[in-house]
């Protein structure tokens, strides 16, 4: 059996198949039905690296950022303990020798992407020598057939990839690496590698998952990619019938079509999902809601579009008009205060910064649509700053204010919505608003059970908090009887 037949047979056992999708290249389709929360596929990375942090101390294996120690031989890799060090040893043994031989200047040039490529090449080498076993879902043939878009890459980028390939060659001089193939592989990483995130979707590193890389993008995906340590899991977010293409989102979907298309540029395709091809009126509505102005009548939730002379904007719901000069004046004020506010935060003046951000929020309330992304961003900043200042009540106020926008901009089972309910619940619990906390934990768990499963320490903690809140509410109820 060739590697492709082996892959198809391994996927068939999971109710999946690789298929050719018109206009998209390959894609992954279902051969059975999946329910929300079902794991469609999971995979270890072919190669992965932690992000470079300021302290450089994330574990190379599990990507955890606490209590890691530097490898004493190469002084480049970090491990959180012997279990992780042992699990990496087959690759790191060769890597360590190569890294230890580098002078300090060369070591400084080891970006996460260079290290990722070094590890990819070493894994290929060790698999060809049968030091590391291969399987239907773990072999270099899968990497070799990934999309590279090399013919569409501009000259400047090609030169950069060639320079990066040279650097990899300097790191691994004994392997006589193929420079052209390595430059090609850098291009593959750009449109196939995934950012590895923790349960709260904070980035930890980068990994290449050659089978998961067969999954195409949609701005209205039916599935979601999450990670347990560095193992990638794709879960169904909705019922998926047999014969449907599995689709995940490669980008932040809470954005206008223009922004999403810009963010997708590195993948060299124009998305034609239902959100990217909606009718012009709906398109206008989405953009004007996410980035535009609100109606002068604060009770009206209409969106505004500019009149033909662009001297004013008219609400599409109630017909009220807003003068462009008035809009400009508020926008100017916002820009000024926002500049000062962000300076305050970057210089560590949190209290002063929060006061400034509160002014920005009030100005944005006057100007922006209630579901605008800039208003959302300000409220999220306020929530984080107030949490740092241990002003839990203040933080909860802004957290609660973000929820209607999250509900508007994300689908009902999106992890970001679940995480925001969870944040709300934790603040409510801390403030002893037990019944509210219970409601928020229930909403968080209903979503995150689907997107994250129930096995991870992160989810176990949420479910434990939910149980605790449940017990407390029941106790209070029985005590008041």
Q: Interface with ligand SAM includes 384 (CB under 6 A)?
A: no
> Residue 225 is encoded by which pair of tokens?
């990619």
Query: Contacting ligand SAM (CB under 6 A), which of 267, 392, 433, 458?
Result: 267
Q: Interface with ligand SAM includes 22 (CB under 6 A)?
A: no
Query: Contacting ligand SAM (CB under 6 A), which of 269, 410, 433, 458?
Result: 269
> Residue 119 is encoded by which pair of tokens?
């590890």
Mark the segment that binds ligand SAM (CB under 6 A) among 17-25, 63-71, 167-175, 399-407: 17-25
**Binding-residue pattern over the window 25 to 54 for ligand SAM, x denoting contact by CB under 6 A:** xxx---------------------------
User: Taken in order 221, 227, 232, 233, is the CA torsion positive or negative?
Assistant: negative
Q: Interface with ligand SAM includes 3 (CB under 6 A)?
A: no
CB of 161 to ligand SAM, least distance (A): 16
Q: Which is nearer to ligand SAM, 116 or 271 (CB)?
A: 271
Within 8 A by CB and 6+ apart from 316, the residues are 285, 288, 302, 303, 304, 305
Q: How far apart are CA 275 and CA 257, in angstroms?
A: 8
Query: Contacting ligand SAM (CB under 6 A), which of 113, 184, 198, 268?
Result: 268
Q: How far apart are CA 169 and CA 178, in angstroms?
A: 8
User: Taken in order 96, 194, 136, 145, is the CA torsion positive or negative?
Assistant: negative
Q: How far apart are CA 380 and CA 389, in angstroms?
A: 14
Q: Interface with ligand SAM includes 216 (CB under 6 A)?
A: yes
CA 376 to chain centre: 18
Q: DSSP letter at 226?
A: E
Mark the segment that binds ligand SAM (CB under 6 A) among 36-44, 113-121, 131-139, 146-154: 146-154
Q: Interface with ligand SAM includes 191 (CB under 6 A)?
A: yes
> Residue 440 is encoded by which pair of tokens?
């928020």
Mark the segment that binds ligand SAM (CB under 6 A) among 19-27, 169-177, 251-259, 339-347: 19-27
Query: Contacting ligand SAM (CB under 6 A), which of 192, 257, 370, 381?
Result: 192
Q: Which is nearer to ligand SAM, 226 or 448 (CB)?
A: 226
CB of 476 to ligand SAM, least distance (A): 50
Q: How far apart are CA 355 and CA 378, in angstroms?
A: 12
3-state secondary structure of 297: coil
- Of the candidates 294, 355, 286, 367, the one whose C-alpha atom is nearest the C-alpha of residue 326 is 367
- Select the residue whose beta carbon is closest to ligand SAM and give its number: 25
What does the binding site for ligand SAM look like in residue numbers (CB under 6 A)? 23-27, 146-147, 149, 191-192, 213-214, 216-218, 267-269, 271
């Amino acid at each position: 059996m060739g590697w492709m037949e082996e892959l198809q047979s391994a996927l068939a056992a999971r109710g999946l198949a690789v298929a050719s999708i018109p206009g998209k290249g390959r894609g992954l389709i279902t051969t059975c039905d999946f329910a929300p929360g079902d794991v469609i596929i999971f995979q270890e990375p072919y190669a992965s690296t932690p992000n470079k942090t300021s302290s450089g101390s994330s574990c190379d294996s599990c990507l955890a950022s606490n209590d890691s120690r530097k490898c004493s031989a190469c002084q480049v890799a970090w491990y959180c303990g012997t279990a992780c060090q042992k699990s990496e040893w087959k690759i790191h043994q060769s890597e360590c020798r190569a890294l230890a031989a580098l002078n300090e200047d060369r070591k400084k040039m080891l970006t996460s992407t260079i290290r990722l490529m070094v590890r990819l090449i070493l894994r290929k080498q060790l698999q060809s020598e049968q030091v590391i076993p291969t399987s239907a879902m773990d072999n270099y043939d899968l990497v070799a057939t990934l999309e590279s878009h090399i013919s569409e890459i501009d000259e400047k980028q090609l030169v950069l990839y060639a320079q990066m390939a040279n650097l990899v060659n300097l790191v691994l001089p004994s392997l006589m690496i193929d420079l052209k193939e390595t430059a090609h592989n850098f291009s593959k990483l750009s449109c196939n590698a995934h950012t590895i995130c923790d349960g709260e979707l904070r980035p930890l590193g980068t990994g290449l998952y050659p089978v998961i890389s067969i999954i195409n993008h949609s701005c209205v995906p039916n599935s979601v990619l999450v990670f347990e340590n560095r193992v990638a899991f794709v879960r169904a977010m909705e019922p998926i019938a047999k014969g449907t293409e599995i689709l995940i989102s490669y980008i932040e979907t809470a954005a206008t079509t223009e922004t999403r298309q810009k963010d997708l540029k590195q993948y060299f395709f124009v998305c034609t999902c239902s959100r990217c091809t909606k009718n012009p009126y709906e398109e206008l509505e989405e953009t004007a809601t996410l980035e535009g102005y609100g109606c002068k009548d604060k009770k009206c939730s209409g969106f505004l579009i500019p009149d033909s002379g662009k001297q004013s904007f008219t609400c599409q719901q109630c017909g009220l008009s807003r003068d462009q000069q008035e809009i400009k004046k508020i926008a100017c004020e916002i820009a000024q205060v926002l500049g000062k506010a962000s300076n305050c935060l970057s210089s560590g003046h949190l209290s002063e910064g929060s006061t400034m951000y509160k002014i920005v929020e009030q100005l944005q309330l006057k100007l922006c649509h209630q579901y605008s992304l800039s208003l959302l961003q300000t409220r999220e900043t306020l929530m984080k700053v107030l949490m740092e200042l241990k002003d839990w009540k203040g933080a909860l106020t802004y957290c609660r204010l973000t929820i209607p926008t999250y509900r508007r901009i994300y689908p009902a089972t999106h992890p970001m919505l679940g995480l925001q309910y969870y944040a709300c619940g934790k603040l409510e619990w801390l403030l002893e608003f037990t019944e509210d906390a219970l409601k928020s934990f229930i909403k968080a768990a209903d979503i995150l059970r689907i997107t994250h499963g129930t096995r991870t320490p992160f989810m176990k903690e949420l479910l434990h908090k939910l149980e605790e809140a449940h017990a407390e509410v029941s106790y209070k109820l029985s005590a008041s009887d």
